[in-house]
Structure 1
Amino acid sequence: MSRTAAILLCTYDGESYLPAQLDSFDSQTYSNWIVHASDDSRGSGTRAILEQYRQKWGPARMSIWRGPQKGFAANFLSLACNPSIDADIYFFSDQDDIWKPAKIDRAARWLASIPDDVPALYCSRTQLIDEHGNSLGYSPLFKRQPCFANALAQNVGGGNTMAFNRAARDLLVKTGPHTQIVAHDWWTYLLVSACGGHVHYDGCPSILYRQHGGNLIGANKSARARLYRLNMLLKGHLKAWNDTHIEALMPHQSMMSPENRAKLNCFSQARNRSFFPRVWGVLGSGIYRQTVMGNIGLAAAALFNRI
């Protein structure tokens, strides 16, 4: 029998696109899935759609939870750490995308290749669509190996593509649902890679990623978007994010591999040094981003004390 897949779906005023996402679950080639939806909506429209699908599928196929009302990251962590949810593999899901039919099967096959006691995280490239479903191309194709050194500098995988095994889920449970983080997907990448887990970035797109005005985080595809993010980096956003990540990781160093524990401490200490020790320390820590422009921005952030 195939392993049980828990789809961790978070919603917030999602009436416009939610039915298409739910229908894409129903079209999966992998049949052993259960949807766990946590709704943070202000009104009742999204909840009514979820209830309609639960009635259609049956309660064994779908459960609905009231969200914590503390933002998207807290909502996803509330599901990932919910003791009532038990599965073999777990999938984060946004409310406004469309999953390709083989999404669950493709992730499940890779996760099955990793020993059950080793944390494992799958993520993928995305195919971009506009609010009407028209194609906009693809997200950037990352080619460098995902690992902790990369996770300290950027998140390589969107949460809407992520799947992870029970061992990775156990790490999220141990760190708890109330951990102060930047985003649930970046935190999952950091945690799994820090603790010696396997991370796989699949260059084959697994979802249709909808781009619209309500997106909290875009696909970072265009030159304009990349310049915008570089500007954010130089304004100190990366520094604030790193403060949050380091504070969240430090209490859990006992779970980390010795190599990654040393890397975290090297990076953390270098950030607080004077000019030359900071620059050499940050660059010498081995952290990197996936692209040439990204690494130029990283070096600039170190130079201007924005890291």
Structure 2
Amino acid sequence: MNKPKVCIMLSTYNGSKYINEQMESLLAQSKVDVQIIIRDDGSSDETVQKLSEYAKSRPDQIRVIEGKNLGVIGSFFELMRQTEPVYDFYAFCDQDDVWNSDKLSRAVTKLQLRQSNVPLMYCSSTQMVDQDLNNLNVWPTLPPKPLSMYNAMVENCCVGCTMVLNPITFERVRRSIPIDLKPIIMHDRWIYLYVSAFGEVIFDEEPMILYRQHQGNVLGGSNEGWLMKWKSRLKRFLSEGSFRLSRQASFFLETYREQLSAQQQRDIQRFLNHLDRSWVKRIRYVSKMPFYRQASLDNLVLKLVYILKKV
């Protein structure tokens, strides 16, 4: 029986310090046939040199694309454009983590158990570690509420470097990648939003990667205490440029209007329209708003910043 063919899409930027550990863990994936497509986002260190050595030793398995600096969102979407839709599954990958050897086979098994003709996405918890791979904590934990469009519009519960997509998801998102990426908060949030609106998100509470936390992380989980976490979250919402949720929601509605159900269209439009209503009507709206975040306190913060017109 042929092994499932999985394409790993890896974006790198000045990641030479940890890239060897990551690459070795990708090449050690069990029970799947792995193809690795790497786009370097304009590194100035030895990242490309190290990757080129891997590509030379495995020319049929590893492809390296040297690109100009586009930033993390642009680089991952460009990777999708450069990847042919010929594989059984597609996985995103960061440059400084370490994957469990059964990460992809476990994801593939769970995806194969679902209906194959709808958009599907697998994601998992991560074992957060320090720079030397010492365990910190598991994040994120299993979300208590459904992973629906009504959650994805206002929160991302899926870590991009754990995502594995079925062909329908990959091909449809790839076909509709926007030219203007400014309204998109992050590539993984956009894909989570897409799949939650039109298909099914599978969350695996078993950590499948060692998710390295260090000063160079662009994004990642946090070990802050709960009070500091919510203070920083509220501060981020209220800071300049915090209107990202409504901007992305408007862009999502514009991009996929014809595919969204009538109810989905109405609910997104109401979310946007009530931001321009009086504060009394905004309070009334949030009391019955269908959009939600997973944690109760986080949900209260969402309602507060909505009333303040800062989403």
Q: What TM-score bracket applies, with the shorter chain setting the length?
A: over 0.9
Q: Return 5+ residue gaps in structure 1 as ranges.
A: none
The answer for the alignment partner of 2:163 in structure 1 is 162
For the structure 1 residues 119 and 227, does the alpha-carbon distance in structure 2 shift closer, same or farther, using more than 3 Å as the test?
A: same
The answer for the alignment partner of 1:34 in structure 2 is 35
Could you tell me the TM-score, scaled by structure 1's length? Answer: 0.93
Counterpart-to-counterpart distance in 1, 2:185 and 2:90: 20
Counterpart-to-counterpart distance in 2, 1:61 and 1:207: 22
SS of the residue 2:168 aligns to = helix
Contact kept? 1:8, 1:90, Cα under 8 Å: yes
The answer for the alignment partner of 1:61 in structure 2 is 61
The answer for the alignment partner of 1:87 in structure 2 is 87
Shift of 1:225: 3.8
SS of the residue 2:219 aligns to = coil
Counterpart-to-counterpart distance in 2, 1:234 and 1:285: 20
Shift of 1:161: 0.8
The answer for the alignment partner of 2:220 in structure 1 is 218
SS of the residue 2:276 aligns to = coil
Contact kept? 1:161, 1:206, Cα under 8 Å: yes
| 1:253-291 deviation line (CA, Å, top 9, x unaligned) | 112233322221121212222212223334433111110
For the structure 1 residues 276 and 165, does the alpha-carbon distance in structure 2 shift closer, same or farther, using more than 3 Å as the test?
A: same
The answer for the alignment partner of 2:196 in structure 1 is 193
SS of the residue 2:7 aligns to = strand
Counterpart-to-counterpart distance in 2, 1:286 and 1:238: 21
Shift of 1:101: 1.4
Q: Does 1:280 align with 2:291?
A: no
For the structure 1 residues 175 and 60, does the alpha-carbon distance in structure 2 shift closer, same or farther, using more than 3 Å as the test?
A: same
Shift of 1:68: 4.5
SS of the residue 1:296 aligns to = helix
For the structure 1 residues 206 and 63, does the alpha-carbon distance in structure 2 shift closer, same or farther, using more than 3 Å as the test?
A: same
Shift of 1:297: 0.7
For the structure 1 residues 84 and 298, does the alpha-carbon distance in structure 2 shift closer, same or farther, using more than 3 Å as the test?
A: same
One-letter amino acid of the structure 1 residue matched with residue 220 of structure 2: G
The answer for the alignment partner of 1:70 in structure 2 is 70
One-letter amino acid of the structure 2 residue matched with residue 23 of structure 1: E
Q: Return 5+ residue gaps in structure 2 as ranges.
A: none
The answer for the alignment partner of 1:205 in structure 2 is 207
Structure 1 residue aligned with 2:272, among 248, 268, 273? 268
Contact kept? 2:4, 2:32, Cα under 8 Å: no
How many matched pairs?
305
Counterpart-to-counterpart distance in 2, 1:143 and 1:179: 34
For the structure 1 residues 214 and 129, does the alpha-carbon distance in structure 2 shift closer, same or farther, using more than 3 Å as the test?
A: same
SS of the residue 1:266 aligns to = helix
Counterpart-to-counterpart distance in 2, 1:257 and 1:221: 39
Counterpart-to-counterpart distance in 2, 1:13 and 1:66: 12
The answer for the alignment partner of 2:115 in structure 1 is 115
Q: Does 1:184 align with 2:190?
A: no
One-letter amino acid of the structure 1 residue matched with residue 39 of structure 2: S
For the structure 1 residues 70 and 186, does the alpha-carbon distance in structure 2 shift closer, same or farther, using more than 3 Å as the test?
A: same
For the structure 1 residues 225 and 41, does the alpha-carbon distance in structure 2 shift closer, same or farther, using more than 3 Å as the test?
A: farther
Contact kept? 2:286, 2:307, Cα under 8 Å: no
- Which deviates more from structure 2 when the two are superposed, residues 161-170 or residues 80-89? 80-89
Identity, % of aligned positions: 29
- Which deviates more from structure 2 when the two are superposed, residues 21-30 or residues 252-261? 252-261
Shift of 1:15: 0.2
| 1:187-224 deviation line (CA, Å, top 9, x unaligned) | 10111222x21011111111110001111112034223
The answer for the alignment partner of 1:143 in structure 2 is 144
- Which deviates more from structure 2 when the two are superposed, residues 269-278 or residues 243-252? 243-252
Shift of 1:243: 1.0
For the structure 1 residues 221 and 292, does the alpha-carbon distance in structure 2 shift closer, same or farther, using more than 3 Å as the test?
A: farther
| 1:93-123 deviation line (CA, Å, top 9, x unaligned) | 0000111111101111111122332000111
One-letter amino acid of the structure 2 residue matched with residue 190 of structure 1: L
- Which deviates more from structure 2 when the two are superposed, residues 163-172 or residues 232-241? 232-241
- Which deviates more from structure 2 when the two are superposed, residues 179-188 or residues 35-44? 35-44
Counterpart-to-counterpart distance in 2, 1:263 and 1:222: 34
Contact kept? 2:119, 2:199, Cα under 8 Å: yes
Structure 2 residue aligned with 1:302, among 299, 306, 311? 306
The answer for the alignment partner of 1:242 in structure 2 is 246
One-letter amino acid of the structure 1 residue matched with residue 214 of structure 2: H
Report the aligned-residue RMSD.
1.8
